[in-house]
Amino acid sequence: MRLTAYVLAADPNYLASSVRAYYPFVERIIVSYDRSSTSWTGTALPVQECLDILSALDSEGKCVLTPGDFARLDHDP
């Protein structure tokens, strides 16, 4: 069975400990993030900090980066 995890690169607070908990058990980790580092409310997100954390943890190359344009400031969150 192939196991895949999903993580949103937006909050670095528990990112490392969370990913370490399941890293040995999954074949890949889909990393989603807003390419402009902007939240749905228009505030800045520490995306690069999160990507740096994931890069340091990803010793087996399991992380697949999937940037997108998710901030839609013309809509309510």
Predicted confidence (pLDDT) per residue in 10-39, tens digit: 999 999 999 999 999 999 999 999 999 998
- In 3D, which of 70, 71, 69, 29 has the Cα closest to residue 51? 29
d(CA 63, CA 38): 21
Which pLDDT band holds residue 77 (cuts at 50, 70, 90)?
Answer: low
Tell me what pLDDT residue 46 has: 97
C-beta separation of 7 from 14 below 8 A: no
% of the chain with per-residue pLDDT over 90? 79
Q: What is the mean pLDDT of residues 43-60?
A: 97
C-beta separation of 62 from 24 below 8 A: no
Tell me what pLDDT residue 25 has: 96
The C-alpha angle with vertex 58 and arms to 55 and 60, in degrees rounded to 5, equals 140
